[in-house]
Structure 1
Amino acid sequence: MPVMLSREASIDYDVQGEGPDLLLISGLGFGRWGWFKQVPELSRRFRTITFDVHRDLDPRHGVADLAEEASALLDHLGVEKAHVLGTSLGGFVAQKLALGRPELVDGLVLVCTSYGAREPEHMSMGALGRMLGWGSFGARDAMRRGLETATSHSYRAEHPEEFEHLVRWRMANSPSFSGYYEQALAGARFDSSRDLGQIKAPTLVIHGAGDRYVPVGNAAALAGAIPDSRLVVLRDAGHLVFIERAWEVNHEVASFLDPR
């Protein structure tokens, strides 16, 4: 497992496959382990780059800090142009990267995300409480309740063993309590709504119709604000659409990015 050190952070990263570079940016509480359904498939067509950033975040500009670390990693790897795929909080980072380094981003894929604080549909208080672990009996209960809210009932019924794996992976690889809340606060302060018209990269927006953390109306607003963008909404899928409906998501990503 290679490690890159910057002034503020250490970054663990993995590179797999050959082809155009594809940087995958994880969401809140997830690390590169969360791409277990993307890397095996997409690395057949792309050189996939996954990473974990270890640093303290200032919530006032935490998303920008994470985008700078992602940019530094690509520079470290000698990448001059890459496709970028971000989920949830990672979608915020991907937007910031596309806005700050437009020459670096070839194609942009935004999954289960929004443009931030000014999004038209906010999550319910119940969903927010589950995301933050309110009222849970210990860390494992909080993780389970959060992942239940992030997934559809049909997924959990059809893939109970995989869901249990998610709970165990999340427990084993979770950021610290303070790190999680730093990420959450950074995401809560993010707002790209006034800047999205400046994104130059062709953009694909993918969303689950049953997403309770980022209601689907936000995906339509996000795609509508980005020039040259395409929206795909998958039914019977929640926030973790890239896991629940991995085949369809991978197919849409590969089809969108391959011609570029």
Structure 2
Amino acid sequence: MPVMLSGETSVDYDVRGEGPPLVLIGGLGFGRWSWFRQVPALSRHFRTVTFDVRGEQRLRRGVPDLAAEVLALMDHLGLPRAHLMGSSLGGFVAQQLALERPERVNRLVLVGTSPGRGSPKTMSPQALLDMAGWPGLSAERAVRRGLETATSQDYRNRRPQEFEHLVRWRMADSPSAATYYEQLRAGARFDSSRDLGRITAPALVIHGTEDRYVPPANGAALAAGIPNSRLRLLDRAGHLVFIERFADVNRETVTFLKAGARRSSRCRRRARQTS
């Protein structure tokens, strides 16, 4: 397993497939295992990069520090430019990179995420407690409750065994409490609502209609604020829409990212013809 050392942390990463690079950035407390439904499909079209940051993170600047870790990994892999696919907190990181370093970002796929504090609809108090962890609950019960809130009842009815796998994977590969709450505080401070109009990368925003952590209105606001973006709402799916409706998410992602490659190819052909 390749490892990149970065200050007080290390970054474990996997690179699969060939083609244009696509960096997948996970959500709060989720490791690269969470992309298990994306990597097999997307790596047939792209060079997919998934990663975990190990060690105690000190996010003094918040989300910009998380974005710097992704940038360092891209530098380590020799990627001057890449597509970014971010879920939830990972979507904040992708937006931050698109704003700070637009020359490094090709296209964005933003899944179950929002503009942050400037979003039009806040999370319910119960969902916030499910995310932060109810006091007095065991670790296993807190993880289970958080994942129940992150998924739709329809998904849990259709795929009960897979849901149990999510619980076990989440238990086996969780960050420390200190790192988790450091990331939680970073996400709570993030606000891109006034800057969305400066994002130049084309964006695909994907959201589940039953998302209780990030209400769908916030995904709609994100898509409305980014100039060259489109919104795809998927019914009967919660916050983990990329797992629940993976076939739809993967198809939409491949179509969107490949459309950019086709457009670039046409532009290059026109440039050669007029030169």
Tell me which interval the TM-score lies in, with the shorter structure as reference length: over 0.9
CA offset at residue 196 of structure 1? 1.1
CA offset at residue 132 of structure 1? 1.2
Matches within 5 A, 1:56-205: 56-205=56-205
The letter for the 2-side match of 1:125 is: P
Preserved CA contact (<8 Å) 2:22 2:85: yes
Rounded to whole Å, the distance in 1 between the matches of 2:206 and 2:240 is 11
User: Are residues 12 and 157 of structure 1, via their aligned partners in 2, closer, same or farther at CA, if it must alter by over 3 Å?
Assistant: same
Corresponding residue for residue 209 of structure 1 = 209
The letter for the 2-side match of 1:102 is: P
CA offset at residue 58 of structure 1? 4.2
Preserved CA contact (<8 Å) 1:210 1:235: yes
Preserved CA contact (<8 Å) 2:111 2:242: yes
Bigger fraction of residues in helix: 2
Corresponding residue for residue 38 of structure 2 = 38
Corresponding residue for residue 6 of structure 1 = 6
Rounded to whole Å, the distance in 1 between the matches of 2:64 and 2:253 is 25
CA offset at residue 100 of structure 1? 1.1
Corresponding residue for residue 230 of structure 1 = 230
1:58-117 Cα offsets, whole Å, 9 max, x none, are 455221111001001101111111100000000000001111110110011100000101
Corresponding residue for residue 48 of structure 2 = 48
CA offset at residue 5 of structure 1? 1.1
SS at match of 2:102: coil
1:217-240 Cα offsets, whole Å, 9 max, x none, are 001110111010000000100000
Q: Any gaps of 5 or more consecutive residues in structure 2?
A: 261-275
Preserved CA contact (<8 Å) 1:59 1:189: no
| Number of aligned positions between the proteins | 260
Rounded to whole Å, the distance in 1 between the matches of 2:119 and 2:57 is 23
CA offset at residue 134 of structure 1? 1.1
CA offset at residue 56 of structure 1? 3.6
The letter for the 2-side match of 1:4 is: M
Cα RMSD, aligned residues only: 1.0
Rounded to whole Å, the distance in 1 between the matches of 2:93 and 2:216 is 19
Preserved CA contact (<8 Å) 1:58 1:186: no
Which protein shows a greater Rg?
Answer: 2
Rounded to whole Å, the distance in 2 between the matches of 1:113 and 1:225 is 13
Rounded to whole Å, the distance in 2 between the matches of 1:110 and 1:240 is 12
The letter for the 2-side match of 1:230 is: R
The letter for the 2-side match of 1:196 is: L
CA offset at residue 136 of structure 1? 5.0
Q: Any gaps of 5 or more consecutive residues in structure 1?
A: none
Rounded to whole Å, the distance in 2 between the matches of 1:180 and 1:6 is 18
User: Are residues 186 and 257 of structure 1, via their aligned partners in 2, closer, same or farther at CA, if it must alter by over 3 Å?
Assistant: same
SS at match of 1:182: helix
1:106-156 Cα offsets, whole Å, 9 max, x none, are 011100000101111011001111111114520000000000000000000
